[in-house]
Chain A
Amino acid sequence: MNANSKTGETIGVTVRLLANLNTYSPIGKECFKLTIARQETVADFLDRFNIPSVLKPIVVINGRPAKPMTRLSDGDSVLVYEPVTGG
């Protein structure tokens, strides 16, 4: 999705693609800043990374579990990870 496609306005979010999901980072780094369309949903946000659905990525925004239709806000911190065992 084009960042300006909905309203012409954009927001900035900080993204962390953890562990193996780093493979799908657009800049090859685990943590990066991204400019996206205001009101973008989690489902649209995830689409851009092409993470295989078999990995069932979890999205957590500002430390709270997010649903596919949750909308992102300016300054959000977004953590994405494969459901993982361990600790």
Chain B
Amino acid sequence: MHGWMGKVLRVDLTEGVLKEERLDPDVARKYLGGRGLGIYYLNKEVDPGCDPLGKENLMVMATGPLTGTKAPTGARYMVTTKSPLTGAITCSNSGGQFPAHLKRTGFDALLIFGAAKKPVYLFIDNETCELRSADHLWGKTTHETTAQLLSETHPKAKVACIGPAAEKGVLYATIMNDKDRAAGRSGVGTVMGAKRLKAIVVRGGQKPAIADADKFKDVQDRVMGQFRETHKDTPPPLRVNGTANTVAIAQAFGVLPTKNFQQGTFDKWENIQASTLRDTLVVGNKACYSCPIGCGRLTKVTQPEFAGEGEGPEYETIYSMGSNCAIDNLSAVTKANYICNELGLDTITMGSTVACAMELYERGYITRKEVGFPLKWGDGHALVKLTKMTGEMKGFGRDLALGSYRLAQKYGHPELAMVSKKQEFAGYDPRAEQGMGLAYATSPIGASHMRGDPAYFEILGIPTLLDPLEWKGRAKWVKVCQDLSAIIDASGICIFFTMRALVEQKMEMRPFGIRDYLEAVTGFDYTIEELAQVAERIINAERLFLVRAGLNRKSDTLPHRLTHEPIPDGPGKGYVCHLEEMLDEYYKEQQWTVNGVPSDKKLKQLGLT
């Protein structure tokens, strides 16, 4: 095969058995890789009703056909499993160096079954695979684990691992790779912890074969030539500002979640925006494998009580731990981000859960007695303290480890959890950004901006700007975004480069550039129509898993606050999110029933019956 390595590794942790399997070329063509292969194997091998933390759950780590090639941003892999936070499927994506090197071992995907009796790690050294004891690593942070594994395997190996949070069962633990890159959402790390798999170490020297090197070079010259021409006088904005660039835009549109989504603007936003981060904490930037942008922020905090060095924060962290908690101290936010990276916690859910706790405290539903100290809006010290307590499962951290939904429910006020399918929102208030509300509610993994991101056309200007307050007709474009994200996620590339450079800059957003790369790399004569079918196949396969797990329209929801309480400030003042109207339109676009179930006709058309 070209593009794919043609093999997957089946790992049975219960029996300690490793077995190579051939990747069926027909499956590869129909599902690509990453997110596509993930749902293919989950539907084939897993009972959707299973306990996410039981032996019967499967965790798929899959690269895509463009991962590890020289295609720009061919750096991504996807972790797919059933989530302990949501009870739905999850697929969580990460870049860095690990994914390209995983593929270079000769495997497109790892299928991880069962659970080990004692902690182990998986070492793949150029196709030689073994499970090794991880007794000496259990309890160590992600940074300590990475350093130890590089020292005992090979200094140039790449490591993905979990931290103490995953071992202790925090429901939103991450899998960290290359120290500070995260497959962050929905508790993929918690699943890995339940399997007692501490880490995966890879060292590979095989490069994916390219079907048509001349065609690949032509595409590369065209795409990179255009990129260089656009930015010949000024660098791309993400290299200058990182994703923190979005703070100023979100504030302007009044979608910057503040005080647990009680407001859409933050009066101290200038203290947490990109230029403040750049001028005070950033010491450099960092790029993933084959990335021409380099959006990663290397930072150093000198304020004594928050001192440290590391990567981040990204926009989502700045919203969840900053404005959403009314905290304007970037040093505190960055320190809490460092702790999340080292203990292995999702920064979005961590910050949003603290914000939820702060509102519960403000309203008197929890008190100093439960928390152990006062919990006021804007308290950066409390954020840092609670983040550590959560990762270590100590005191009130045990309640925060449940996420907002279970926390708010425990204290009798589930309406204060800003979640969809029990997962916390990204940094956009959907009352002033209507399409995002629909995307949150219908994302297969619970609230997420990464499984279809309407922020591109509602506030970021790609391919153009539509009125973010309009909901009529919005479902069509949300579906276009979701389909596109499925192709990006399955190809093994990053949305940041792709959306401007490999996608048609019209609302149809057809992925001509991705198609050209896929054709050159795989040798398959993909058309735009076939890729549209691949996208729908992935999304419908995911929906089938959800339906079989008991989820349907009743699960495609937003909190009462966002659908009934008008946003009090910003350009969207007075608006609520018109979810129900958009849902009706959306199911029609998807050819699903009014209850959100894929129709037989659609499933047949996609070969999913």
Contact = CB atoms under 8 A, between A and B. Distances in A.
Interface of A: 16, 18-23, 30, 52, 54-56, 58, 60, 62-65, 77, 79, 81-87
A38 to B, nearest CB: 23
Interface in B404-460: 426-428, 449, 453, 455-456, 460
Contacts of B253: 60, 63
Interface of B: 229-231, 233-243, 245-246, 248-250, 252-254, 274-275, 295, 315-316, 426-428, 449, 453, 455-456, 460-463, 465, 467, 495-497, 499-500, 570-571
B461 A83 contact: yes
Nearest to B495: A85
Contacts of A85: 238, 456, 460, 462, 495-497, 499-500
A87 B242 CA distance: 9
- Interface secondary structure of B, over-half rule: helix
A86 B296 CA distance: 11
B528 to A, nearest CB: 21
A79 B237 CA distance: 14
A87 B455 CA distance: 8
A58 B243 contact: no
A20 B316 contact: no
B248 A18 contact: yes
A77 B274 contact: no
15 contacts: A18-B241, A18-B274, A19-B240, A19-B241, A20-B234, A55-B230, A55-B234, A56-B461, A58-B461, A58-B465, A81-B249, A81-B461, A84-B460, A84-B461, A85-B462
B234 A87 contact: no
Contacts of B463: 83
B316 A87 contact: yes
Given A21-B237, A82-B236, 20 more contacts: A18-B241, A18-B249, A18-B274, A19-B240, A30-B275, A55-B230, A60-B252, A62-B571, A63-B253, A63-B571, A83-B460, A83-B463, A83-B500, A84-B237, A85-B238, A86-B238, A86-B315, A86-B460, A86-B496, A87-B453
B465 A77 contact: no
Residue of B237, B253, B462 with highest tally of chain A CB at under 10 A? B237
A76 B568 CA distance: 20
A23 B315 CA distance: 22
A84 B570 contact: no
B431 to A, nearest CB: 13
Residue of A54, A82, A84 with highest tally of chain B CB at under 10 A? A84
Contacts of B315: 86-87
Contacts of B571: 62-64
B465 A20 contact: no
B234 A63 contact: no
Nearest to A77: B252
Nearest to A84: B237
Given A85-B460, A87-B453, A63 B237 contact: no
Contacts of A86: 237-238, 242-243, 245-246, 295, 315, 460, 496
B230 A54 contact: yes
A64 B497 CA distance: 26
A85 B246 CA distance: 9
Contacts of B248: 16, 18, 79, 81
Contacts of A23: 233-234
B274 A65 contact: no
A21 B250 CA distance: 18
A81 B500 CA distance: 14
Contacts of B236: 20, 82
Q: Which 3 A-B pairs have the closest CB atoms?
A: A63-B571, A83-B461, A19-B237
